[in-house]
Structure formats: structure tokens, C-alpha cells
A and B are shown apart, each in its own frame.
Chain A
């Protein structure tokens, strides 16, 4: 009997907690991925298992990447360059491992990458920017991937 009562109280407490969270939750504000989030997100969207080269670079720049995920933490060029450097290493590996993708048309390359990185299609303006970037690039996949994975939307969470 006692056990049943305790269980009931537990359930009610859980429900009350959920209810109060739902009712009074503060709307989430925009932040950026922290150093760990960036590393794992880049690994996830590229499907690349971090190589020793990636890990060595990550270790060397870790203290320059966002720690708490505050927007202030990316308000300087050196942090964004470090993010770009990390993204580029993942994208270099991605390009190496996906040679078949580079055989496709520019539009198709961009579509595949934007789906992986942003989970959506590029807007007209973004597409224009990206097409102009990769039209003359030697390694189109690397360049487009690095550009998308270093731009603001990927950083935000």
C-alpha cells in the first residue's frame, strides 16, 4: 500500500514537473555550438571519423573555440578562422572519401552538401554565391563543404 502511494506521488510529481516546465519554460535563445558541439557536428554532417591530423589541429585550437556557446564567443576573426580551419580538415577528408560526388554537376554537389550540412535546400541567393565559388575551384566538394560548414547557420544552435 505504502509502495503504491509512494509510486503515485512520484508520478504526480513527475507530471507536475513536466507541466511546470512546459508552462514556464523560457524561450530558447540563439547560441553557437561550443567546441565539442562543433567537433561532433562536423563529424556527423561529413560522416568522417576524425583522423589524427584533425584531432591534432582540434587540440591546438580548442581554447580558441566557443566554450559556453555564447554569441560573444565568435565575435572575433580568430575564432571564426579556427572554425574554418577545423571544418576544412573534415571537408578535405569528406572530399577524399567521396570522389564520385565530385563527378556530379555543380548544382548536384551543392544540393547534397546543403542537405547534409543545413538539412535544407539552398536559397536562390546562397546558391548563386556557392555556384560562383565552385565554378573554377579545383576541388569543388572541399570548397563548397568548407564554405557551408563555416557559415553562420551551421555555427548556430
Chain B
């Protein structure tokens, strides 16, 4: 049964238009019922304006609503991830290997496991990634973070591993309010060091080298340099009003609703923009400034990463990618490798802590190219090892710790190398050069699942995983 309220006709007056005063205004808004032929256009206009108002409420959809922020953390060079995150046999990480001698730590030692995030990490200050995460984020924040892993092959010291899920996530629907595409700290199709399985120039992330690059890429252009904010706003108002007026000419077209959306989601948000658009510079945000300890420097790595994390979390852009270099760190000594791992941990922790302070969820993917092996029984990484690679995913939910179905997909062997025989759907998806792309698609499945959109996976993915096979690769 419809309520009386719903029977009432809604009068929607576009912003900047006067409330109806004259007879003409009343006719325009369809308040005065008149002869049919006069009423028809008014009625259509009314519908269109209602659609326009509805469109305003769904602008978020165009801005990626429903898809949580996504960040790739790319450790270029082949980090020793299994020296930080526990890998195990087919029963999961705690199905321990016979020995971890070449993986840089002994998970059987007393108190060696930190299971705070689901996927066990090397405790006792062995894992500097863990130390960095805990240093940058509060215990309260970290209680709502969970991580899981994919054990897989990837090529050593190469950007050809198609491990980054960034463009897959972009295509799936994560679009920014200002920049639809993602952003990245490397000028590549993935925005990072490692490549992406979906190579589409139109999805190329915007290259960010300066904390102000996002702000600068959304500007009115050089013609407005000497024009005041007030005059820019008057011009924007005029363009919006003109477009709203012109909309009426197209009200009978099937695309009328889309045109109304353009007016409300495209033109309308610009009404208050001056020369500089607020909300794009992390230096102006107290939380970002504190978490990233920002100074006036606009180009150092930390400043650039803060801009990427901040704008991704705020939904200003699509997904983000930050690349930390120099992870080809074998034979560089423990001090150096620890310092690099700590740097990675700090960046992960800062992104999660900022998400927490902004009250946003964050899904991230830690990737690397290849891996390393250590001199037996030590943490001295002494060679590359593409059989000791892995990808880690993390999900921070500000509402509470995410549930996990499992914490490891794929497996290692007793000898401390990848188990190439793990099969899903009758295929070995983790073993050869196609493994990184397969894993990127699995990351997409987990991202969609965490976003409540797993049903989209079949349409968006590049590997045929359905039913039990799909379930078997879900961590979240």
C-alpha cells in the first residue's frame, strides 16, 4: 500500500533557480494543471528534473561507490617476503615445512609467530615489515587489519610479471570522483614496477611525482591564471545553468537520464571550485600530515606516497600504486635489507593508519618480482630466487576485523621452495610465467568479494574460476 506521503508530487527546483513566483513559473514546474498539450512538456521536465535530482544522489556510483579503495605496494627487485610472512604446505601456513633454512627465519622457535593479522608473520623483531607496520599504525587500527598470501612463481628482477591487479580493479568499477583512472608513482601502464594482466592504455594510471600532481591535474588550465576564484565560480555557475536549460531540449531522448547525470555529477561539483580545489592535497589534511609526518617537501618519496594513499582513500582517484625500489637486496647485508623491509612496513602501516583515521576501508596488494634465498640458517640473503616468491593481500575494515576463509592460497614444499603442482580447476596456476597474471585475477576476486561484488568476477576476470574453484582461492 502506498503511503499518502508517496502520493504527494515532489517539486524539485534546480540549484540556482528561483522558487516559482509567477504564473509562468508555476506552469513551468507543472504546479498549475493546464490543458494536456501544455502540461505534457511540463510533466516531462518535471520527470527529468526528478531524474536529475536522483542522478545527484547516484553521482557516487560514477565515483566508484561500493568499490573500496585499492592500493598496490610494489617492492621492486624481489623482496624476501617469505622471510617476513609465514609460508606453509597445502594445509596453510601453519602446515610447516620441514625446514626454513633458506627463508631467513625459524618459525618453530619459541614466540616466533605474530598472528595478529591472520597470516602469521615473523615476530621477535625478525620481520622488519611487521615492525614498520606496528610503528606506523596504532594497535586499535591494526586490530581491524587482516592479511593473506598467494604462493607463486614470479620472474626475478623483472618488470614483466603481470602481478598488479590495478587495472583489473579499475575496469571492475573503482573510479575516482576527480580522476576516474588510478594513480601511480611510476610512469607505466600499471602505475608501478610490475606489469598488469589487463593492458589498456585508457586505464593507465596518472603518473604522480609530486604531492601536488593530483591537484594540478584537476585544474581549470592556464587560461584562468589571472582570473579570480569568484569569477571562475560565476563562469561555472553559468555553464551549469546553461547545461541544465539545454537539458530540456533532450528530455524525450532515451539518453535524457544520462544527460541529467552529466549535469549533476559532472558540472555541478565544479560550482565551488576556484583555481585550487581543496581536498586533494594531503599537506592540508591534519590526519595525513600526522600519519606521514609531512613537511614542505613536495617531491620526496614519502610525500608522493602520501598523496597517492590520501587521494585513493578519499575516492578522489581510482586505485593507486606505490613502488619502493632497491628490493633486489641480496648480498647487501642485513642492515640494508632490514632497512628496506622497515621502509615497506612503514608505508603499509601509514596507508592503513590513514584509512583508519579517515574512516575508510582499504584493500591492498603487496607484490614483488621474484624473491631471495638466504645462506642456510641465516638471514643473509645471498641470491635471487624466483621459487621463493609470493603476493600478500590485506584488508582493513574500519567497522571491525574482516573474516577470513583461509590465510594462504597455493603452497610451498618442505625444501623451502614453491610447490608448482598445486592445482585449481585441474590447472597449475601458480607455477610458471603465467602465475603472476593468474594471481592478479585472484586478487581481483578477493577484492570483489570483500566489496560484496563477487558476482562481478566472472564478467571481469581473465581466468575461468567458478564454484568450488573460485571459493578455494578466496581469503576474504
Residue numbers of A with Cβ under 8 A of B are 29-30, 53, 57, 61, 63-64, 67, 71-72, 74-82, 84-86, 88-89, 91-92, 123, 125-126, 129-130, 132-133, 137, 143, 146-148, 150-153, 156
Contacts and interface: CB of A to CB of B under 8 A. Distances in A.
Interface size class of B (residues with CB under 8 A): 35 or more
Contacts of B175: 76
For the complex of A and B, the 9 pairs showing the least CB-CB separation, nearest first, are: A85-B221, A88-B223, A152-B243, A151-B242, A133-B238, A153-B246, A129-B241, A147-B238, A77-B269
A80 B267 contact: yes
Interface stretch (B124-132, B251-259, B288-296, B335-343): B251-259
A125 B231 CA distance: 21
Contacts of A150: 239
30 contacts: A30-B253, A53-B222, A57-B222, A63-B202, A71-B255, A71-B259, A72-B258, A75-B258, A76-B63, A77-B270, A77-B273, A78-B179, A80-B262, A81-B219, A81-B270, A84-B236, A92-B223, A123-B245, A126-B245, A133-B234, A133-B235, A143-B235, A143-B238, A148-B242, A150-B239, A151-B246, A152-B259, A152-B267, A153-B242, A153-B246
Interface in B367-421: none
Nearest to B223: A88
A151 B239 contact: yes
Contacts of A82: 221
B453 to A, nearest CB: 19
Interface of B: 62-63, 175-180, 202, 204, 217-224, 231, 234-239, 241-243, 245-247, 249-250, 253-255, 258-259, 261-263, 265-267, 269-270, 273
A91 B270 CA distance: 20
Contacts of A64: 179, 217
Given A78-B217, A152-B263, A129 B242 contact: yes
Contacts of A79: 180, 266
Contacts of A81: 218-221, 270, 273
B62 A76 contact: yes
A85 to B, nearest CB: 3
Contact of A152 (B219, B220, B246, B254): B246
Contacts of A72: 62, 258
A133 B255 CA distance: 29
B177 A76 contact: yes
Contacts of A91: 223
